[in-house]
Amino acid sequence: MAKNLEVTVTDYISGIEINATPEEIEAVQVFSKQLVEDYDYPKEHIQTRPQHRVKVRPSDIKKEYPVDIAVFANEKKTDENLYIVVECKKKNRKDGRTQLENYLTLSTAYLGVWFNGEERFFLRKFVKPNGEIHFEEIPNIPKFGQRVEDIGLYKRQDLKPTHNLKAIFKSIRNHLAANTVGATRDEVLAQQLINIIFCKIYDEKYTAPNDMVKFRAGISEKPKEVENRILDLFKEVKTNLPEVIDSEDKITLDTKSLLFIVGELQNYSLMQSERDVVADAFETFIGHALKGGQGQFFTPRNVVKMIVDILQPNENDKIIDPACGSGGFLIESLKSVWDKINQKYANLGWNEVEISKKKIEVATKNFRGIDKDYFLSKVAKAYMNLVGDGTTGIFCEDSLENPKNWRSEAKTKIEMGTFDVLLTNPPFGSTIKVEGEEKLKQFDLAHQWKRKKAENLFEKNNIKDKEAPQILFIERCLQLLKDGGKMAIVLPDGIFGNETESHVRNWILQNAKIIAIVDVPLETFLPHTGTKTSVLVLQKVAKEKLPENYPIFLSIAEYCGHDRRGKEIEKDDIPEIANYFNEWKTNNKIDF
Distance CA 111, CA 137 (A): 10
Q: Which residues contact 579 (CB under 8 A, 6 or more apart)?
A: 309
> pLDDT (tens digit, 9 = 90+) per residue, 155-214?
999 898 877 777 788 888 888 887 776 655 667 787 888 889 889 989 998 999 999 999
Q: What is the pLDDT of residues 495-538, one digit of tens each?
A: 999 988 999 999 999 999 999 999 999 998 887 777 899 999 99
Q: How far apart are CA 111 and CA 122, in angstroms?
A: 7
Interior/surface letters 185-212, b for 16+ CB within 10 angstroms, e for the rest: ebebbbbbbbbbbbbbbbbbeebeeeee
Q: How far is CA 419 from CA 250, 397, 476, 513, in A?
A: 37, 18, 12, 16
pLDDT of residue 254: 92
CB 8 within 8 A of CB 17: yes
Q: What is the 3-state secondary structure (H, E, C) of 241-298?
A: CCCCCCCCCCCCCCHHHHHHHHHHHCCECCCCCCCCHHHHHHHHHHCCCCCHHHCCCC
> With 50 as the cut, is the pLDDT of residue 423 above it?
yes
Residue 439 lies in a domain: yes
pLDDT of 260 strictly over 80: yes
CA–CA separation, 53 and 65 (whole Å): 5
Total residues belonging to the chain: 592
Output the pLDDT for position 184.
Answer: 59
Q: Give the 3-state secondary structure of 416-433.
A: CCCEEEEEECCCCCCCCC
Stretch 268-286: mean pLDDT, rounded?
A: 72
Given a cut of 50, is residue 540 above it in pLDDT? yes
Q: Which of 60-69, 327-336, 346-355, 579-588 has the lowest mean pLDDT?
A: 60-69
CA quadruple 289, 294, 300, 301: dihedral sign? negative
CA separation (Å) from 173 to 39, 57, 82, 218? Answer: 22, 36, 31, 22
Among 98, 114, 138, identify where a domain stops: 138
382 — pLDDT class (breaks 50, 70, 90)? confident
Confidence of residue 290 (pLDDT cuts 50, 70, 90): very low
Whether 228 and 214 have beta carbons less than 8 Å apart is answered as no
Q: Are 230 and 251 in contact (CB under 8 A)?
A: yes
Q: In the chain, helix, strand, coil percent, each to 5?
A: 40, 20, 40
pLDDT at residue 190, as a whole number: 78
Q: Model's pTM, two decimal places?
A: 0.74
Quote the CA–CA distance of 295 and 357 in Å, as a whole number.
38
H helices present in 180-247, as ranges: 186-205, 223-240
Please provide the average confidence, as pLDDT, over all residues in the chain. Answer: 88
Position 562 confidence tier, pLDDT thresholds 50, 70, 90: confident
Q: What is residue 329's predicted lDDT score, i.e. its pLDDT?
A: 94
Domain that holds residue 435: 300-587
191 occurs within a structural domain: no
SS3 at position 325:
coil
Model pLDDT for residues 449-506, shown as the tens digit of each residue? 988 765 667 888 899 999 999 999 999 999 999 999 999 999 999 999 998 899 999 9
CA distance 137 to 135: 7
Residue 291: its pLDDT value, please? 47
Domain boundary among 138, 171, 195: 138
Instruction: Give the burial class of 41: count Cβ atoms within 10 A of its Cβ; 0-12 exposed, 13-18 middle, 19 or more buried.
Output: buried
Strands 533-540, 133-138: pairing is unpaired
d(CA 432, CA 529) in angstroms, rounded, equals 14
- Select from 150, 102, 147, 96 the least CA-distant residue to 125: 102
Q: CB-hemisphere CA count at 13 Å for 448?
A: 6
State mean pLDDT over 542-555.
Answer: 93
Q: Which residues contact 408 (CB under 8 A, 6 or more apart)?
A: none
The CATH number of residue 336's host domain is: 3.40.50.150
Pairing between β-strand 481-492 and β-strand 419-424 as defined by DSSP bridges: parallel
Domain stops at, among 138, 163, 181: 138
197 part of a folded domain: no
- Total structural domains within the chain: 2
> Is 251 inside any structural domain?
no
pLDDT-wise least confident of 21-35, 91-105, 373-387? 373-387
Distance of alpha carbon 526 from alpha carbon 261, whole angstroms: 27
Can you give the pLDDT at residue 2? 44
Predicted confidence (pLDDT) at residue 39 exceeds the cutoff of 80: yes
In our burial notation (b when 16+ CB lie closer than 10 A, e otherwise), range 526-564 reads bebbebbbbbbbbbbeeeeeeeeeeeebebebebbbbee
Query: What integer pLDDT is reported at residue 167 of this predicted model?
Result: 79
Query: Residue 276: what pLDDT?
Result: 64
State the Cα angle at 368 between 192 and 190, rounded to 5°: 10
**Dihedrals φ, ψ of 71, to 5°?**
-110, 130
Q: Of 384, 404, 282, nearest to 329 (Cα)?
A: 384
**DSSP label at residue 90:** S
Residue 128 falls inside a structural domain: yes
pLDDT (0 to 100) of residue 293: 47
pLDDT of res. 383: 79
**H-helix or E-strand spanning residue 513:** strand 512-519
- Residues 526, 292, 183, CA angle at the centre, nearest 5°? 105
φ and ψ at residue 113, rounded to 5 degrees: -130, 135
- At residue 371, the pLDDT reads 93
